[in-house]
Amino acid sequence: MKKIAAIVACTGILSISSLYADTIPNNLYVGGGFNVDGVPSAYTTGVGMELKVGAHLDQILPRLGVEAEYTGSLTDPKNPNNHNINIQTLGGYVTYDIYFRNSPIFVRPRFGVVLPNLGDKINSRDARLSAGADVGINISKSVSAYIGYTNISEVIDNYTVGIEYNF
């Protein structure tokens, strides 16, 4: 049931994004970057990638947005028994951009649902609530750089560095 809820949430986010794509200038963005998987100290750390697509929904509420995100391991963390943990997630988030007056810096808190697909029994594969935040800087009107934190399970956090392109 939780997996179905996560799939419905992600589908809804993408549907809402497409509805407003033609009506709001610069409302869509795509991004990507690399992340470090924060795991308990008994585990080795892994490195992964992040891909995301989002939309600003300023017509509904200024600074409100939605985001869909995929993360995947490039080098798997290992548990204390030396078994690889292949981390892949699909998440859907509601976002709210916070801008600072006369500054290119922004903060984007994110709350949503994540569907983890972990290659080990350290976590349930059921959908769960997820939260995080990005801190970014607008390099130009179309390009932003960001660092981010997302909690994806009871024992794994993602720390990300990436770039976004706004359409």
| φ and ψ of 76, to 5 deg | -75, 140
pLDDT (tens digit, 9 = 90+) per residue, 86-138? 778 899 999 999 998 899 999 999 999 998 876 555 555 678 899 999 999 99
- Polymer length of the chain: 167
pLDDT of residue 45: 78
Provide CATH code, domain 2-166: 2.40.160.20
More confident residue, 77 or 48: 48
* Confidence (pTM): 0.77
The domain ranges of the chain are 2-166
In this structure, which long-range contacts are made by residues 48-51, counting pairs with CB atoms below 8 Å and at least 24 apart in sequence? 48/72, 48/73, 48/74, 48/75, 48/87, 48/158, 49/74, 50/158, 50/160, 50/162
Q: Does 19 have pLDDT greater than 70?
A: no
